[in-house]
Amino acid sequence: MGILEVKNVSLRFGGVVALNQVSFDVQKGEIFSLIGPNGAGKTSMLNCISGLYRPSEGYIHFDGQQINHLKPHKRAALGIARAFQNIELFPHLSVLDNLMLGRHVRMKTGVFAGGIYWGKAQKEEIEHRRHVENVIDFLEIEDIRNTPVGTLAYGLQKRVEMGRALALDPELLLLDEPMAGMNTEEKEDMARYIIDIHEEMNTTIILIEHDMGVVMDLSDHIAVLDFGRLIGYGTPSEIQNNPKVIEAYLGEEQTG
């Protein structure tokens, strides 16, 4: 049994089938990639895992618990964190404040105690602030900690987006095209951070990425979607030699 089990998941929007009977397992501690052409259903699958969408059919289990019925904040509290393809930060708030917001589901102090900021509430905020500072150090963004996010370069905003997800201290980190729109140097930096998150924090990662070089270098296992169907699953070498995958996706990448 993996940390995440997706079993016969289908997702429909009226007559449109976004996912069709998709099944795969993600093992604890691995980097698992979802690849496929645009519109294949990759982001829809992450939305089903994080709780933004509820599958029309099938089940998703996390750490042995069926989570179909849980709202996104409940899944976050279980340890599932998400960094979005389109940056979903608060542009007028500082880097530090955006990361502190990533800790909100971990905060247990009641509204009244938090409002007077004393005793237990004060101790709790200090502890959460300490964790956020560790994330800031880890991602090497100390010099922009007090900078409004909206004034930062795109590559730094993507790093902060990932940092907010990391602030949750997740068991499972969902990364939706973390390198989209980046130049070569920024991609290399992001790949290094993903490897460090995986190795140093022992975090399980599900990655959506179009750069096949990155996918093949980083992944332990890969699932390939095409028009909402699973057409391939295996190690990078198995995927590279899968005729269906080559026809639907890798061949297109190599020739285009």
Q: Are residues 17 and 127 in the same domain?
A: no
Which tokens sit at 187? 């991609």
Indicate the residue among 153, 169, 185 that finishes a domain: 169
Task: Work out how many domains the chain is built from and give that number.
Answer: 2
Considering the domain architecture, whether residues 95 and 57 belong to the same structural domain is answered as no
User: Which residues on adjacent β-strands are paired with residue 26?
Assistant: 4
Please state the pTM of the whole predicted model: 0.87
- So what's the pLDDT on residue 251? 65
| pLDDT score of 144 | 94
Q: Are 105 and 50 in contact (CB under 8 A)?
A: no
Q: What three-state secondary structure class fits 52?
A: coil
Residues 176 and 74 in one domain: yes
Residue 85 lies in a domain: no
Within this chain, do residues 143 and 204 fall inside the same structural domain, yes or no? no
pLDDT 10s digits, 201-224 = 999 999 999 899 999 999 999 999
Please give the full DSSP string across 170-213, using - where no structure is assigned: -SEEEEESTTTT--HHHHHHHHHHHHHHHHHS--EEEEE-S-HH
Judge whether 76 and 105 are in contact, CB under 8 Å: yes
**What range does the domain containing 118 cover?**
90-169
- Digit-coded pLDDT (tens) for 231-251: 999 999 999 999 989 888 766
Residue 84 in any domain: the answer is no
212 and 163 share one domain: no
In this structure, the answer to whether residues 139 and 208 fall within a common structural domain is no
Give the Cα separation of 171 and 253 in Å (integer).
32
Of 169, 200, 231, at which residue does a domain stop?
169
Q: What is the pLDDT of residues 73-132, one digit of tens each?
A: 899 989 999 987 777 788 999 999 999 887 766 555 444 444 445 456 566 677 778 889
